[in-house]
Structures are given as C-alpha cells and as structure tokens.
Structure 1
Amino acid sequence: MKRIAIDMDEVIADANLRFSEWYERDFATRILPSELHGKYFREAVTPEHREHIVQYLHTDGFFKDMAVIEGSQEVIQALAKKYEIFITTAAMEFPTSFVHKYEWLKIHFPFIPWTHIVFCGDKSIIQADYLIDDHVKHFARFSGQGILFTSPHNVHEKWTPRVNNWQEVASLLL
C-alpha cells in the first residue's frame, strides 16, 4: 500500500483563519483574504504588529480548535481506503502546539490512528510516496513526490503538481 504524508497547518487546519480571528480580537482590524495574496499573515499586517503576530505561534491555545479545511475530512477518509495515511506536522518549532494538535486530530480525523501522527522538524525523514504540504521547502530532500497545497503565501511558487483544494487532491490520487 502506498503512503501519503499530509501536513496540518494550511492543509487540513485553517491557521490563516485563526491568525485573522486573533488579530481582529487584539487590534480590532480584519485582514481580508484578498490582502493575503502572495503573503504570510505576518506580512499583511502593519510592521509594528508583526512581532505580536509571530508570538501567536508560541501562545498556548493558538492551535486549539482551528477550523477544518473544507473537504479534507471526506477526501482523507476516502484516501485511507487506498493509501496508508500519515499526518506529518513540523511542530517541533512550536512546543505549545503538541497537545492541541493531537487533540484536534482525534476530534476531526478520528480514523487516523495515533501511530500515524508524526510531530517532526525536517520532513525528509518521512518515508512516503507523496507529501501534501503548503511549503515547497519540505520537498527539497523528501524522497517521494511533493504535492503543493495552495495557500495564500505560496501562490507565486512554481511547483507541479499543485492542488488548490481537497477535490483536486481526490482527482489526483483517487
């Protein structure tokens, strides 16, 4: 059975929505999705707020109860009938995220066993046929095929194959 490794943030969990919610809470300003085109969230805010935004990632609770990326649950469940699925998240940089990410996965992806959840730094250690991720840097030393999942920050990246949503993942892999 072939293996698919799937990133969490901006692939199955909507981190940009969480940034937007917290930014609006803290600064009474809403960042529109159109303002994120070609940018990370921190690049879309005023310069004096950028360090505050970066600190969100190190704040307990940031990764708790994020919205699920539309279509991911259904497509991943269908993929799991044909492939061995692993969730691979580069969480080592954000130690406060571990418990919340694990609990989030148990709630939203209960069909993925704990043995198939990998908290890592360098994703090149993952032995899989495919890696679905929103960062091309994770494909550099990955031995399988990287599949770029479109997110506002990567719209200008040149990578093939690229998918824009989970229906495109289904068309590519099912």
Structure 2
Amino acid sequence: MKKKTIAIDMDGVLADIESQLIEHYNNAYGANLTKESIQGLSEEIAFGNRDLLRGILNKDNFFRTLPVMPDAVESLLALQENFEIFIVSAATEFPVSLAEKVAWLGEHFPFIKWENIVLCGSKRIINTDYLIDDHCKNLDYCMGKPIMFKAFHNVNQTHHVRVNNWKEAVAVLNATL
C-alpha cells in the first residue's frame, strides 16, 4: 500500500526561525523584542521593515544555526512509519540559505533522504496529500490538505486547520490513517 505524502516547511515549522530572528534583530538594532511582543504582527511590522528583515536573513550562517522546534525530530521519525515525508522550503528567495539548509537538515534530520528535500521558489507546485506550513501564502494554494503550524504572524488567521506544536501535528495526521 502506498504511503500518503506530507510536505513539511522548514522555517517556522522544523526550525525555530522566530527565536533566531528576535535574537539577531535585538543584537543588531538594540531592540527588546520578545515572542510575546510580536504576536499577531506581520514579519515586516514585527522587525521594522522588509529591508532590515532581508539583511538579517541574508547573513552567513543564519539558517545553518537555527534551533530545532521542540519535538520535531521525534515527530518526523514517528510519522515516517506511516507517511512519506518531503521537506519543502522556498529557499531560493535567500540563495545563501540553500547550502545552509541542506547542511542543517543533514545534522538534525539525517533520516530524511536527499531525494525528499525540495528547495524551491513557489510551493504552488507541491502536490502532496498534506502540507504543513506557517504561511497562508503557501497553504492557500495547497493541492492536498493544508495544516497551519502556529507562528507569531498567523495567530489571527483561521481558515486552515491549525496545530500549535509537533505533538498536535502528529495527532492530526495519525487521525487520518
């Protein structure tokens, strides 16, 4: 029997980009942002403007040193028993991130084969049974069933199934078996 497929975003879903952005932003600009202070804000509003944000995201080693989201490794290992997992990242927006993301996945998720890593621009081409992502711009075009992973910038969006963490994501997906 063919396994169902899941496409899983990296930043904000597997990798804790929120903590890293806050730390880099506060260090670079002498700010005092916290996770609580940016809840419900867009990325551009939370971090000043798009140019400032892009400057942080284009720094060497930014993506290579992202913390792993709690329970992500164990969750993917468990999901792999019943699903084929693809890691999908719109990485071409930040070309410096391409090699860093591959190295990061190799370190933290060595059980994900290279064939199941998709670094792309638009995720509209992704055709899996499920897509777990933190951005509606990707979920709105999902060909399968979208699952929104909670992030500061999407807390006020309610038009997709939402999970707050990896334990909830596993429960939602296992309920479909």
The answer to whether TM tops 0.5 is yes
1:111 to partner: Cα distance: 0.6
Which residue number in structure 2 is paired with residue 33 of structure 1?
35
Aligned-pair identity in percent equals: 41
Q: Which amino acid aligns with 1:98?
A: L
Partner of 1:59: 59
Match of 2:19 among 17, 20, 23: 17
- Is the 8 Å Cα contact of residues 148 and 159 (structure 1) preserved in structure 2? no
| RMSD, aligned α-carbons | 1.5
Given that residues 19 and 35 in structure 2 are in contact (C-alpha distance below 8 angstroms), is that contact kept between their aligned partners in structure 1?
no
Q: CA deviation at 1:65?
A: 1.3
Conserved in 2, the CA contact under 8 Å of 1:127 and 1:144? yes
Code of the aligned partner of 2:151:
S
Which residue matches 2:111? 111
Equivalent in the alignment of 1:153: 153
Q: Following superposition of structure 1 onto structure 2, how do residues 1-174 of structure 1 map, counting pairs within 5 Å?
A: 1-45=3-47, 47=48, 51-174=51-174
Structure 2 residue identity aligned to 1:99: A
* 1:107 to partner: Cα distance: 0.5
- Distance (Å, rounded) in 2 between the aligned partners of 1:145 and 1:163: 13
Secondary structure of 1:92 counterpart: helix
- Work out the number of aligned pairs and report it: 172
Partner Cα separation in structure 2 for residue 93 and residue 65 of structure 1: 18
Distance 1:95 1:50 in 2: 17
Question: Do 1:93 and 1:121's aligned partners in 2 also have CA atoms closer than 8 Å?
Answer: yes
Task: For residue 44 of structure 1, report the CA deviation from its aligned partner.
Answer: 2.3
Query: How far 1:24 sits from its partner (Å)?
Result: 2.2
CA distance in structure 2 between the aligned counterparts of 1:53 and 1:119, rounded to whole angstroms: 21
Q: Give the TM-score taking structure 2 as reference length.
A: 0.91
Equivalent AA in structure 2 for residue 87 of structure 1: I
